[in-house]
Chains A and B, each alone.
Chain A
């Protein structure tokens, strides 16, 4: 039998960790075998998959010893939104093929075949990925892997964030690829009922990051039934864990579940309800578990963050967090952070509770702890609205609100304008005006240049650059107008001899390039900018691509900022000193951004971002789409040159 994946004495010690996450791991997997990787939380399953994919070595965040031999592998991650790296579905699926250096024509063939393979051929490839539902998004990520025909598929909790139906679609797509390609698969998943019937073999990892057992699926399932339940794994066929029976009282509250496929806008509805309650009742009656639990952290320790000694101690114990109470809350795992956030939402026994996916990422035991707390809050009279895709939890709710799927509206960078001038054309014209402004040396020259510049802006308008603009859109010019007025006044007032003419010339000179500059900049499409920087300016590909991916996250970060402002208001954390508040908000956003950056880095490295050839030389990246540059760019540049040159006539 040919082995296409082998590990010998693999030990992984992350920088700063007190001990290895993986200890002395050895196993071989023959071509085509499907392996399920099971173990308690923190056993190092994700680390093992990262190591096998080669990403861990590229990240250089841990000391790796031992030997890994693997054919090229594709790695599918838990949260497809983090793993999204393209402005459009096409560009996202093409990312791996671009890293591998395929020519553009081949890439577009590979992409359309891969989209068909995962059952997404009906999706328009120029849609922004964020407009897809969670299940579609995960299959899009799979298509990005499948496009390169990997001999090994590594799946890290690929269905944990998905509702049952979406999860089934992902499984089907994976299974079809495995069947048609004969690829090997290694799958880690807490709720492994999705995968158990396609698995040939189970490798069991222990709490120490070592292999406890390794054998055929049936033998392991029978032998480890109790061990798995003890670890809190969701063993298939077992019913939901037993809950404390709550005694109904006269003032018992109600639990309403908000359900719908991933991506149907549950979070949006929940947040709207929150705003409404906040306006009507104020923050003291409200408890909120937001999507990003990290924002609720307030204090140097878990205990302090939950509300300090007293009631919080009991609550932490009830949620299985007592052994972490003195730890830095930022060091908690994702699931633990959600429970801490729940504790801080419950601490003041609020009348209204809004919970966004309270059970996601919880193992069986912690699931019961979380649900018990929700039920207790209900008997104490709380009105609870929760967004969830968890079937066991939905069953316990009093009322269910189903949301319909509708294509998500996506606020995407660089799609506002329909101006077909490329970013280099826009920036080039801005720079020509900037250079030309130095020719302005008299009031007459300044006024003439302004008149010509007006025609230039009209030219852009004729191109359709301001389509969809309303008079109110002009407010983007307001800061510039204030700035120019300030320049005019201060250059007069703060000058040595208070002459108005030089000050007016200075202000008009600035206005000459700033006003059109702001309008032109608003039309820049960052995806095109990256393509031009890489292909026309021949800037190094990796920084250009990293910058382009980061710029895509801008609207996500805006949403995060707003969510954070709201969380701090609801939790009563808002500082009265505005400067201090801005500092706290900045640090909070940066922490979340860095965390997402780590996931993005993994997703990009898993698709060959830093890949080298057999000689250790970096593979030259190709571009799936040629850089835009056309006659309108020349026309705009010519217009800018003409505006600048007109100044010469009146100097």
Chain B
């Protein structure tokens, strides 16, 4: 089946808004759920060596990648990421309202990549590149606000860990999540879901 169309429809349907909003909220809840699965061990190690903590930066960028890959329209990454950030605010988080600043930056990278490709390509490489660029923006912000006194060498370690995580956890992970969701038939209303079903 050929589902590619030459001119992508860039206006938001109701189902785009609602499904991506609900998915982002659910991802926010999943992050809360990780409290009992991954974080306790990770927190202990990374509290003393924050550069390693950047390896989990990608988790926070997941909603942006999932939003962009699912909806394929301008603003999809930002919309999903802001909602997930709001869930964090509601359920209690580490950094307070500044997550709204970080989440805008974490959405910016992937937004720019899909815009650059004119909303025509949403494959695994686009996802990884978007995740990496989003992570880059976030790390630069963190250089100024969280870790200004690091030596250049440790800043580099910090940067590399963050960007790898953006590409792998957010990019590859987000792509795999949308694909797995598509295979279950839950997102048949979206091109991403239909492509996962036919391939």
Contacts and interface: CB of A to CB of B under 8 A. Distances in A.
Given A518-B96, A550-B21, A554-B90, A482 B185 contact: no
Given A496-B151, A550-B22, A554-B87, A543 B92 contact: no
A312 to B, nearest CB: 21
Interface in B1-33: 12-15, 17-19, 21-30, 32-33
Interface string A540-568: 00110011011101100110010001000
B64 to A, nearest CB: 15
Interface in B35-66: 37-38, 41, 43, 46-51
Nearest to B34: A582
A97 B90 CA distance: 28
Contacts of B21: 543, 546-547, 549-550, 597
Interface string A57-95: 011110000000000000000000000000000000000
A550 B84 CA distance: 10
Contact of B19 (A480, A487, A597): A597
Given A582-B34, A590-B177, A330 B98 contact: no
B149 A503 contact: yes
A330 B186 CA distance: 8
A61 B150 CA distance: 52
Interface in A25-83: 58-61
B112 interface: no
A391 interface: no
B89 interface: yes
Interface in B162-199: 177, 180-181, 183-189, 194, 197-198
B185 A330 contact: yes
A499 B180 CA distance: 49
A140 to B, nearest CB: 20
B43 to A, nearest CB: 7
Contact of A59 (B15, B38, B93): B15
B188 A61 contact: yes
Interface string A572-597: 00000011011001110111111111
B149 A598 contact: no
B15 A601 contact: yes
B96 A480 contact: yes
Contact of B95 (A431, A517, A594): A517
Contact of B97 (A517, A546, A561): A517
B100 interface: yes
A486 interface: yes
Contacts of A517: 95-98
Interface-centre pick from A502, A543, A609 (highest chain B CB count, 10 A): A543
Interface string A519-533: 111101010010000
In which size bucket is the chain B interface?
35 or more
B116 interface: no
Contacts of B27: 586, 590
A406 interface: no
Main secondary structure of the interface of B (DSSP, over half): helix
Contacts of B51: 494
A584 B62 CA distance: 15
Nearest to A581: B37
B124 interface: no
A60 B15 contact: yes
Contacts of A480: 94-96
A554 B83 CA distance: 11
Given A476-B92, A520-B96, A598 B145 contact: no
A61 B15 contact: yes
B86 A551 contact: yes
A261 B27 CA distance: 33
A147 to B, nearest CB: 20
Contacts of A592: 26
Given A15-B189, A16-B197, A591 B150 contact: no
Interface in A472-517: 476, 479-480, 482-483, 485-487, 489-492, 494-496, 499, 502-503, 506, 510, 513-517
Interface residues of A, number: 86
A604 interface: yes
Interface string A385-409: 0000000000000000000000000
A554 B97 contact: no
Nearest to B9: A60
A547 B184 contact: no
Contact of B37 (A482, A516, A578): A578
B150 A491 contact: yes
B13 A58 contact: yes
Contacts of B26: 553, 557, 589-590, 592-593
Contacts of A111: none
A503 B96 CA distance: 21
B188 A14 contact: yes
Nearest to B43: A482
A491 B37 contact: no
Contact of A434 (B101, B152, B177): B101
Nearest to B157: A494
A430 B101 CA distance: 11
Interface in A216-262: none
Interface centre among A480, A490, A554, A581, by most chain B C-beta atoms within 10 angstroms, is: A490
A521 B93 contact: yes
A549 B34 CA distance: 24
B152 to A, nearest CB: 7
A131 interface: no
Contacts of B186: 330, 590-591, 594-595, 598
Contact of A514 (B33, B38, B86, B96): B96
Contact of A490 (B28, B48, B90): B48
Nearest to B30: A586
Nearest to A490: B50
A558 B29 contact: yes
A392 to B, nearest CB: 33
Contacts of B146: 487, 506, 510
A331 B185 contact: yes
Interface in B119-177: 145-152, 154, 177
Contacts of A519: 96
Nearest to A519: B96
B19 A601 contact: yes
A557 B27 CA distance: 9
Interface centre among B15, B92, B146, B151 (most CB of A within 10 A): B15
- Nearest 8 CB-CB pairs, A to B? A517-B96, A593-B26, A550-B21, A430-B97, A597-B22, A546-B17, A496-B151, A330-B184
5 contacts: A502-B149, A510-B146, A593-B22, A594-B19, A598-B189
Given A480-B95, A495-B150, A561-B29, 14 more contacts: A16-B194, A61-B188, A330-B186, A494-B50, A514-B98, A517-B97, A521-B93, A526-B90, A549-B22, A554-B90, A557-B29, A582-B38, A590-B186, A594-B23
Interface of A: 14-16, 58-61, 328, 330-331, 413-414, 426-427, 430-431, 434, 476, 479-480, 482-483, 485-487, 489-492, 494-496, 499, 502-503, 506, 510, 513-522, 524, 526, 529, 542-543, 546-547, 549-551, 553-554, 557-558, 561, 565, 578-579, 581-582, 585-587, 589-598, 600-601, 604-605, 609-610
